[in-house]
Amino acid sequence: MEVKDIKIKGIPHEEFNDNEYLEKYVEELRANGVGIVTGVLDDMINWGRSNSMWPLTFATSCCGIEFMSVGAARFDFARFGFEVTRNSPRQADVIVVAGTIVDKMAPILKRLYDQMAEPKYVIAMGSCAISGGPFCNSYCVVNGVDKIIPVDVFVPGCPPKPEALLYGMMQLQRKVKVERFMFKDKKKQDK
C-alpha cells in the first residue's frame, strides 16, 4: 500500500495574537462615518449581546465533559458572561455542539436550533462536530454539523482543551461585537 505523504500545516503561533482582525475590518468599513444614534445603539446592543451569551446545555459525548469542565471551578466561563447554562433552548443564545452528531440525532439538533430565539449562535466543538472526526467514515455519523445548522465558530480538537473552547467563545464574542442590529433589514431590501 502506498502511503501518502501527509503534511499538516499548523497555524503559526503569531496568528493567535491577531485577534482583532474583525474589528479592523469594521473600522475600515466605518471609515466614512456612521449615523450617531444608530452607531451608538448598535454598539450598545452588541456590547450587551456579546457579554451575555447563555449556552444551551447540550452535550452528546466526550466533548461534553470538557464543556462541563469549562463551566466548573478552574476555567469558569461565567467570568465572560456565559454564566447561566439554560436547559430550555428558547432561553439560550448559543448552542455549543459538543460531541458527535449521528443521523438519529440530526433532526433533534435541527429542531433544537429552530427552537432557539434570535439572535442565536452555534459553536462546533471538537472534530466530531466539525467534520465527523474519528468517525467520519461511519455509516451514520453526520460529517460536520455545518451540514445541518450554520456554525459561527469552529473549535478543533478531540476533545478541545478547555482553553481552546474559551478562546473559541471569546472569538464568538468578537464576532458578535461587530454585528449590525439597527436597520439591518432595510439594508437587505435595498440590495
Partner 1 sequence: MFDFSIVTTWVDQFLRTYLPEFWVLAIEFVVVGVVMLALYAVIALVLIYFERKICAFFQCRLGPNRVGPYGIFQSIADMLKMLIKEIIPINHTDKLLFYLAPFFVVVASFLTFGAIPFGNGLQAFDFNIGVFYLLAVSSLGVIGILMAGWASNNKYSMIGAMRSGAQLVSYELSAGLSLLTMVVLSGDLQLSTIIEKQSDTWFIFQGHLPAVVAFVIYLIAGHAETNRGPFDLPEAESELTAGYHTEYSGLQFGMFYLAEYLNMFIIASIATTVFLGGWMPFHIGGLDGFNQVMDYIPSVVWFFGKAFALMFLSLWVRWTFPRLRIDQLLHLEWKYLLPINMVNLLIMVGIVLLGWYF
Partner 2 sequence: MEAIKQLILATAPEAVLEEKAHLTVTVAPDDLRALATALKNDPASRFDFLIQLTGVDEGENFSVIYFMTSTDDMTRQLVVKTYTTDRENPVLPTVSDIWGTALLNEREVFGFLGIRFIGHPDMRHLFLTERWKGYPLRKDYDASREANPVDVTSYPMSDHSETWVKGKDGIQHEKIQLFEEDDYVLNIGPQHPATHGVLHFRTALDGEIIKKIDVNCGYIHRGIEKLSEGLTYPQILHFTDRLDYLSAHINRHALCICVEKAAGIEVTDRTEVIRTIMDELTRITSHLLSWATMCMDMGALTAFIYGMRDREKIMDIFEETTGGRLIQNYNVIGGVMADLHPDFQRKVKAFIPYMREKLKEYHQLYTGNVIAVNRMIGVGVLSKETAISYAVSGPVGRASGLSCDLRKIMPYSAYGKVEFKEIVRHEGDCMARYLNRLDEIEESLHILEQLIDAIPEGEYCVKTKPIIRLPEGEYFQRVEAARGEFGVYIQSRGDKTPWRLKFRSPSMALVSVMDTICRGAKVADLVTIGGSMDYVIPDIDR
Instruction: List contacts with ligand SF4 (CB under 6 A).
Output: 61-63, 99-100, 126-128, 133-134, 158-159
Helix (H, G, I), strand (E, B) or coil at 95: strand
Among 4, 137, 185, 188, contact with partner 2 (rule: CB under 8 A)? 137
> Would you count residue 84 as binding partner 2 (CB under 8 A)?
no
Cα-trace Rg, the chain: 18
Give the residue among 24, 154, 32, 135 at the shortest CA–CA distance from 97: 154
Chain position carrying cell 438519529: 104
Shortest distance (Å) from residue 66 CB to ligand SF4: 7
49 binds, among partner 2, ligand SF4, partner 1, none (CB under 5 to 8 A by kind): partner 1
Using CB under 8 A, pick the residue from 25, 140, 150, 183 that binds partner 2.
140
Q: How many residues does the chain have?
A: 191
112 binds, among partner 2, partner 1, ligand SF4, none (CB under 5 to 8 A by kind): partner 2
Residue numbers at the binding site for partner 1 (CB under 8 A)? 44-45, 47-49, 51-52, 72-73, 76, 78-81, 83, 86-88, 90-91, 93, 115, 117-119, 181
How many Cα neighbours within 13 Å face the side chain of 67?
A: 23
Q: Please, are residues 156 and 4 in contact by the beta-carbon 8 Å criterion?
A: no
Interface mask (CB under 8 A) for partner 2, residues 31-70, using x and -?
--------------------------xxxxxx-xxx-xx-
Compute the distance between CA of residue 128 and CA of residue 115 in angstroms, rounded to an integer. 23
**Partner that binds at residue 140, options partner 2, ligand SF4, partner 1, none, CB closer than 5 to 8 Å by kind:** partner 2
- Residue closer to partner 1 by CB (options 147, 187) is 187
The 3-state DSSP class for residue 84 equals coil
Residue 94 neighbours by CB under 8 Å, 6+ apart: 53, 54, 55, 56, 82, 120, 121, 122, 123, 169, 172
Give the number of residues in contact with partner 2, rule: CB under 8 A. Answer: 42
Q: At its nearest, how many Å lie between partner 1 and the CB of residue 145?
A: 22
